[in-house]
């Protein structure tokens, strides 16, 4: 989503036309984000304010992927959650009980206000045997004032305190793409991933067996590509140049 369709709340050139072409051609699609703060309904409304029409059913977040994963691992389980509505709602809808008493999992996601008390509770629960899950490994997130500590940074602190490494569900884990494809009944040989980061989007797409397109409107610049030991299927200036591929 960010760096491909929008940048700092503004639609990127060609984004609206790209989405419309998908609809016109009857292509199944999902807009993906590692951000676990917002529900699909929240994100749909935010995209609408940018001039992009994306129904909530066409949005897949690391929170939804995490809930999907846990529901497949331990149906009807329990979790102590550090996160916001995007994550707590997803877990609730997957049939999970949210508790701070003897949970099966500690689930760490994004929040605007990490609480030292909540982190301390997570450390003690993991020490007592709860399994450690995190929605994504991103170490920082953007803000108008500059970078903010994100899930990966807080996960590192909990790992240092407990010795327990989390299982990260979101990108670059190809699990997120596989769960997204299951959601829309897609197959890897006929699915394309469009992303703006080599180290999350492209590597996860390759590992999930997808055709990959890198657009240069986000994190990765053209000069950065050769630093990586893998390459996307295509490198294009922006989403506007992807329209004709549909």
Give whole-number Cα distances, 222 to 33, 91, 107, 165, in Å: 22, 38, 36, 33
Q: How confident is the model at residue 165 (pLDDT cuts 50, 70, 90)?
A: very high
Query: pLDDT grade, residue 33 (50/70/90)?
Result: very high
Report whether pLDDT(30) > 80: yes
User: Is a pLDDT exceeding 90 seen at residue 144?
Assistant: no
pTM score: 0.94
| pLDDT (0 to 100) of residue 175 | 94
The CA distances from residue 192 to 36, 138, 205, in Å, are 23, 23, 8
Condensed to tens digits (0 to 9), the pLDDT of residues 185-227 reads: 999 999 999 999 999 999 999 999 999 999 999 989 999 999 9
Between 113 and 53, the more confident residue is 53
| 148 confidence band (pLDDT: 50, 70, 90) | confident
Bond prior to 186 in cis (omega within 30° of 0):
no
Q: Provide the percentage of residues in the chain whose pLDDT is more than 70.
A: 100
Cα pseudo-dihedral 238, 241, 245, 246, rounded to 10: 70
Residue 175's region, left for phi above 0, alpha for psi from -120 to 50, else beta, is: alpha
Report whether 39 contacts 85 (CB < 8 A).
Answer: yes
Alpha-carbon distance 236 to 143, whole Å? 27
Tell me phi and psi for residue 227, to 5 degrees.
-75, -15
Average pLDDT over residues 65-78: 98
In this predicted structure, what is the pLDDT of residue 179?
Answer: 95
Assess whether pLDDT exceeds 90 at residue 142. no
Cα angle 83, 86, 88 (rounded to 5 degrees) comes to: 60
């Amino acid at each position: 989503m960010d760096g491909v369709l929008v940048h700092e709340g503004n639609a990127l050139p060609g984004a609206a036309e790209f989405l419309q072409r998908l609809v016109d051609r009857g292509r199944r699609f999902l807009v993906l984000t590692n951000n676990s703060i917002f529900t699909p309904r929240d994100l749909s409304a935010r995209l609408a304010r940018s001039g992009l029409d994306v129904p909530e059913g066409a949005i897949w977040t690391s929170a939804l992927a995490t809930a999907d994963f846990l529901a497949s691992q331990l149906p009807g389980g329990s979790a102590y959650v550090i996160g916001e509505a995007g994550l707590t709602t997803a877990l609730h809808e997957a049939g999970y009980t949210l508790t701070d008493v003897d949970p099966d999992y500690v689930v760490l996601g994004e929040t605007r206000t990490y609480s030292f008390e909540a982190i301390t509770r997570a450390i003690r629960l993991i020490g007592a045997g709860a399994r450690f899950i995190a929605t994504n490994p991103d170490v920082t997130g953007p803000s108008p004032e500059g970078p903010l500590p994100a899930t990966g940074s807080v996960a590192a602190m909990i790992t240092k305190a407990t010795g327990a490494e989390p299982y990260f569900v979101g990108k670059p884990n190809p699990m997120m793409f596989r769960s997204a494809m299951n959601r829309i009944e897609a197959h890897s040989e006929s699915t394309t991933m469009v992303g703006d980061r080599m180290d999350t989007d492209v590597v996860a797409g390759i590992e999930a067996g997808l055709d990959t397109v890198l657009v240069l409107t986000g994190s990765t610049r053209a000069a950065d590509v050769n630093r990586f030991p893998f390459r996307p299927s295509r490198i294009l200036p922006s989403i506007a140049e992807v329209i004709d591929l549909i």
